[in-house]
A and B are shown apart, each in its own frame.
Chain A
Amino acid sequence: MMLLQYHIPYDPYHNPLNNNEWSFPLLEVIHIVGFAIAIGSIFMQDLRMMGMGWRKQLPSELRKDFAPWTLGGFVAVLLSGPLIWTSDPNMYINNPAFQFKMIALLVGLLYHYTIHRKVTMADSSARAVALVGVVSIALWVSVIASGIFIAFV
């Protein structure tokens, strides 16, 4: 299910990432810690909306308190990710798991700053709020999963 095939005329042979033992794993560590913080902080809001944690706080309070952590995590991930990509850009572009990941990531980011934001800030007690949390978890887990699958497809 290749979504697109494309070749950019860039040879990463001289890319420092491929010529230095430490830079690639270091970027991966930044990527992992970044997503742990971003997704961990989102997950806690999702649990709150599902009525499964943080019951003493309102969703909007959690959202406001975690917002800098989520954003900081996103910044770390969105800086380290593209750098990792430069190590072998054509392999990534033509990898179906990577293509899926980019779409899931885009949807996840849009969702987080539109629907998710609106619902957390409204502090509604409607049952449907739980669904917003479930969708959020599903989106972020699919981003992680497709990231792993890049190496396996």
Chain B
Amino acid sequence: MSLFEVLQWIQSTRPATALRGSGLTYPIIMTGHLTGMGLFGGMIAITDARLLGFAMRKYPIADVVNQLRVWKRIGGVLTISCGLMIWASKAEFYYYNPYIWAKWSLLTLVGVHALVFRSVYSKPEALDAAPQVPVKAKVAAWLSLFLWLGLVTAGRLIGYWDVPDRLRPKY
């Protein structure tokens, strides 16, 4: 099975087909995607801003990072699961869309970022103990901000690209 056939199969599954044809479920899931972004994106921005010393300097970094961890995870699960549903409903169309490939690449980079900078976010106490916020943590924060900005941009641009007629599947 080629990748294209896999995507075709995903799009043809019953839940994906139902979602594609639904009047109300589709915008509700999009609302979940965007609400997740509101909750989750805002928290990422604020965590990174704290690492960079732009916000909440009165509180230890550990307070900010530790207290937001659970909610960022909840927001992440909401955003990603809604996003995957939206994608699955039109997986075959999205195969041709350059911006979705940009988005997958950025998401992969987010994963790499999480692995490389694991210590920054899992042991924020060490950052408070250091005389200055280490360069590694600041690099992590800047990269995280740019990655998420890129994800939002790529995500939005997906909607502006339409499958050319010659590639459009015939049903």
Residues of A within 8 A of B (CB): 21, 25, 28-29, 32-33, 35-41, 43-44, 47, 53-57, 61, 65-66, 69, 73, 140-141, 144-145, 147-149, 151-152
Contacts and interface: CB of A to CB of B under 8 A. Distances in A.
B152 A40 contact: no
B130 interface: no
B10 interface: no
Contacts of B70: 53
A57 B120 CA distance: 22
A148 B27 contact: yes
B58 A25 contact: no
Contact of B157 (A25, A43, A148): A25
Interface string B8-30: 00000000000000010011101
A105 B87 CA distance: 29
B109 interface: no
Contacts of A148: 27, 30-31, 34
Contacts of A25: 153, 156-157, 160
A32 B67 contact: no
B53 to A, nearest CB: 13
Given A144-B35, A148-B34, A149-B27, A41 B46 contact: yes
Contact of A28 (B28, B40, B156): B156
Nearest to A27: B156
Interface of B: 23, 26-28, 30-31, 34-35, 37-43, 45-46, 49, 55-56, 58-59, 63, 67-68, 70-71, 149, 152-153, 156-157, 160
A84 to B, nearest CB: 12
Contacts of B30: 148
A78 B67 CA distance: 30
B71 A47 contact: yes
Contacts of A56: 59, 63, 67
Nearest to A40: B42
B95 to A, nearest CB: 21
Given A144-B31, A148-B34, A41 B42 contact: yes
A73 B70 CA distance: 23
Contacts of B28: 145
15 contacts: A25-B156, A28-B156, A29-B153, A32-B156, A36-B45, A36-B152, A37-B41, A37-B46, A39-B42, A53-B67, A57-B63, A69-B42, A69-B46, A144-B31, A144-B35
